[in-house]
């Protein structure tokens, strides 16, 4: 037996069982990562490649690099999560367990369902090695949770506004974040529509930072039983300058 084994109940055919199980593991890894991050940091760090579940991390590929620096062999590497006492304690505390339970079987139209979908895409982004692919997947996570079915221009504007609303209280900071998201989203669009791969290391890391910050901010504040469209309405209202958390509480009371 390996040092780590996943036990994942899935409701799927034999042909799809592994694919579905891996998706649930991806979502679970992001959930644990974001839950532990504020308390004692996290490895893999932003920008590092995360090993994919069910995939061997022992690579036989050893590229030979030559240049002014001479010759070197550099094998692809992944950064691992360290499961220590702090990690175990955190996942057993009174906050994490009910949180994980609420995300096990959320309703299809609920915030919990879309949040869990986004968690899976975050993991896929961290597992990707190509910068353009990572940016695409991190934005997929954000779009899953924060955008309605709208046209391209509306998606960009809505996504930038919603990310800024969640991450900042000050109007000027919101404006700066929204502009940063729009700039980064252009690289995502150029990858999708033009096949462009011109994403730098820093742009890739900035996208990951924004994506994980949004999900981390919502982790313990978003009512997972709330209909997703009600949450979108909250963000629309709060984007004009009010605090989204106060609008969220009021909306949740109305629905409940």
What DSSP element (H or E) covers 183?
Answer: helix 171-194
Domain boundaries, the chain: 17-52+79-255
pTM over 0.85? The answer is yes
C-alpha distances in Å from residue 219, one per residue of 38, 62, 101, 223: 11, 39, 13, 9
Rounded average pLDDT over 203-230: 94
Classify burial at 236, counting beta carbons within 10 Å of its beta carbon; exposed 0-12, middle 13-18, buried 19 or more.
middle
Query: What pLDDT score does 213 carry?
Result: 95
Label residue 69 by pLDDT band (50, 70, 90).
low
pLDDT tens-digit map of 193-211: 888 888 999 999 999 999 9
The structure tokens 């961290």 sit at 126
Strands (E), 42-186: 64-67, 70-73
| Helix, strand, coil share (%) of the chain residues, nearest 5 | 60, 5, 35
pLDDT 10s digits, 118-156: 999 999 999 999 999 999 999 999 999 999 866 556 889
Q: Considering only CA atoms, which of 59, 239, 241 is closest in space to residue 162?
A: 239
């Amino acid at each position: 037996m390996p040092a780590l084994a996943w036990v994942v109940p899935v409701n799927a055919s034999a042909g799809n069982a592994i694919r579905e199980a891996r998706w649930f593991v991806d979502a679970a890894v992001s959930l644990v990562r974001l839950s532990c991050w504020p308390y004692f940091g996290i490895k893999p760090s932003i920008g590092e490649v995360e090993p994919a579940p069910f995939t061997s991390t022992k690579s036989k590929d050893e590229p030979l690099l030559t240049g002014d620096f001479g010759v070197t062999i550099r094998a692809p590497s992944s950064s691992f999560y360290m499961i220590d006492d702090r990690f175990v304690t955190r996942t057993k505390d009174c906050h994490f367990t009910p949180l994980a339970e609420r995300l096990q079987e959320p309703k299809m139209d609920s915030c919990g369902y879309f949040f869990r979908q986004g968690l899976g895409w975050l993991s896929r982004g961290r597992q990707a090695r190509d910068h353009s692919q990572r940016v695409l997947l991190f934005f997929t996570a954000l779009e899953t949770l924060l955008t309605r079915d709208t046209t391209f221009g509306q998606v960009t504007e809505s996504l930038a506004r919603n990310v800024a609303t969640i991450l900042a209280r000050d109007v000027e900071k919101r404006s700066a974040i929204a502009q940063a998201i729009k700039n980064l989203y252009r690289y995502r669009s150029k990858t999708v529509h033009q096949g462009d791969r011109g994403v730098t290391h820093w742009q890739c890391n900035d996208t990951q930072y924004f994506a994980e910050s949004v999900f981390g901010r919502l982790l313990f504040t978003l009512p997972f039983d709330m209909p997703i469209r009600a949450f979108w309405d909250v963000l629309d209202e709060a984007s004009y300058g009010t605090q989204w958390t106060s609008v969220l509480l009021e909306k949740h009371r109305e629905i409940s």
